[in-house]
Amino acid sequence: MGAVLGLVTAVATPAQANDAVAVATAGVDPNSPAALNLVEAVERGVAARSELKLVEPARARFLLSSSAPQSHAAAHRQARALLDQADEQLRNFQVPGAKKALAKATELLDPDLGLSPTVTLDQRRLALAVAVAHAERDEEALEAALTAYAARFDQKSPPKGASWPPDLVRRLTSLAARARSSLEVTSDPPGEVFVDGRKVGNSPLTVDDLPVGRHRVEVKAPDCFARDVWIDTDPAKVAAVKLDLPPTVSVRLARLPAEGPLPAGLQSEVAAAGARGGATWVALVTPARDGKASVRLIETRPEGHAHGPVLAGAPRMAFDLAWDTRDELVAEGPGKPLGYTPWVIGAAGVGVAAAVTGVAVRMWAKDTQEPLRTQQGALTQADAYAIQDRAEGRAVLGTVLITAGAALVAGAAGLFTFDLVSTGGK
């Protein structure tokens, strides 16, 4: 068990290509109770799935690295300060400065526009964008900002504190009174549906009476990454959104050198993974504070993910699955077969065939000599020598074929041995 600790391995053998297995431990003291629990948990997790095999030794090492979604709180704080600055400058009729600050704030908020954390900031941003465009007499920008505001916030009046002239308020009221649209949202698994950062219900659902325009739809479900999409709604038809939410528990396995120290930052999770039939099984083990561990099995297919049983309560983790098919694992893992097997078999087959043909040709050559024995005394010298010449030519051809065939077989044997050694004899 201890041998497994500190190693990160991946093995895929020619004979067991469908049983590729990766085992990883990292950042764990091999002698600690927690570490022993981790390994036991992995073994239990692996044993729970017959298609998973826990294997030693290290021919490949994989790095488990967290890729939890980054928090944009800092960017939001900066954007808020820039909006304050733009507001102040606008009040002092410093329109270019306000426009510049607004552009920077928009850039910072852009990834999260239309999502819950930025609803208030986005409303302020659009209200300021309307005021700046109006001050600059930029009709195109004004129309765009008013339309976005009306669609996203569905309000007939500007936000509090925004000093819009009466004609702008009238235009906003007019836009808000435009035709309505509908939106149908489904997701796998079902989750909470947010439209423009505001919760509207649980999927599957249809949102009616939605302002026509561009909306951001987001679905959130427990233990899954939230997914979102921008969609333009149209009064003529029901817009449809379907979102598949990947589970938050998966692993990123990056290739590491087979030897040498593990890089800093390696996470303290342990994972075992196996691949079979196009799906990858990942067993994630999470050390808990009390020294116990939990294991979660995940089946990952190109078309989606499915959670396996959680053997113990696992804290929420967020990882990305860097590879999810056997082919990718086999292709990238240093423990992969070198790919010689088909060529080795082919070369050996051709070699054997050539050698057998060579034997047959030499036997044919011997048969060619037969008249020299059976018709001795009846053959003319010219005929006898001609027969011997033919026999010797055939014998040479046979020898060449046998030698070439044997060379092919020997070469195939060498490649096979090399392949065997490079894959650790698996």
Partner 1 sequence: MLRLAAALVCLGLLAGCLEDPMLDGGLFPCRDADDCIEGYVCHATRYVCVLEGTEDVDAGMTDAGAADAGE
Which residues of this protein are in contact with partner 1, per CB under 8 A? 348, 351-352, 355-356, 358-359, 361-366, 369, 372-373, 376-385, 388, 391-392, 395, 398-399, 402-403, 405-407, 409-410, 412-413, 416
Nearest distance from C-beta of residue 413 to partner 1, angstroms: 3
CB–CB of 220/194 below 8 Å?
yes
Provide the minimum distance between the beta carbon of 346 and partner 1 in the complex, in angstroms, as a whole number: 13
Q: Residue 122: what are its φ and ψ, rounded to 5°?
A: -65, -40
The backbone region for 77, taken as left when phi is positive above 0, alpha when psi lies in -120 to 50, beta otherwise, is alpha
Q: Which is nearer to partner 1, 135 or 420 (CB)?
A: 420
- The answer to whether the beta carbons of residues 226 and 218 sit under 8 Å apart is yes
d(CA 40, CA 30): 12
Instruction: Quote the least distance from Cβ 336 to partner 1, whole Å.
Output: 23
Please state, as a whole number, how many other Cβ atoms lie within 10 Å of the Cβ of residue 301.
13
Nearer to partner 1, 306 or 353 (CB): 353
Counting other chains too, the contacts that 122-126 makes at CB distance below 8 Å and 24 or more residues apart are: 122/152, 122/197, 123/149, 123/152, 123/153, 123/159, 124/83, 124/87, 124/159, 125/79, 125/83, 126/152, 126/153
What minimum distance in Å lies between the beta carbon of 342 and partner 1?
15
Residues 325/1, Cβ–Cβ less than 8 Å: no
Q: Please say which residue, 99 or 362, places its beta carbon nearer to partner 1.
A: 362
Q: What is the smallest separation between the CB atom of 400 and partner 1, expressed in angstroms? A: 11
Q: Residue 262 or 352: which CB sits closer to partner 1?
A: 352
Residue 202 or residue 341: which is nearer to partner 1 going by CB? 341
Question: Minimal distance in Å, beta carbon 398 to partner 1?
Answer: 6
Given the complex with partner 1, which of 230 and 385 has the nearer CB atom? 385
Q: Per-residue b/e over 87-126, b at no fewer than 16 CB within 10 Å?
A: bebbeeeebeebbbbbebbbebbeebbbbeebbebbbbbb
Nearest residue (CB) to partner 1, 29 versus 392: 392
Alpha-carbon span 336 to 113, nearest angstrom: 44
Q: With contact defined as beta carbons under 8 Å apart, do 55 and 46 qualify?
A: no
Nearer to partner 1, 202 or 399 (CB): 399
Contacts of 33 (CB under 8 A, 6+ apart): 291
What is the rounded distance in angstroms from the CA atom of residue 252 to the CA atom of residue 286?
Answer: 14
To partner 1, the closest distance from the beta carbon of 330 in angstroms equals 24
Compute the least distance from the CB of residue 410 to partner 1, in Å. 4
Q: Which residue has the tokens 């983790």?
A: 317
CB atoms within 10 A of CB 160: 8
Q: How far is the CB of 15 from partner 1 (least distance, A)?
A: 16
Q: How far apart are CA 268 and CA 37, in angstroms?
A: 13
* Between 338 and 372, CB nearer to partner 1: 372
Rounded to whole angstroms, the Cα distance separating 354 from 59 reads 37
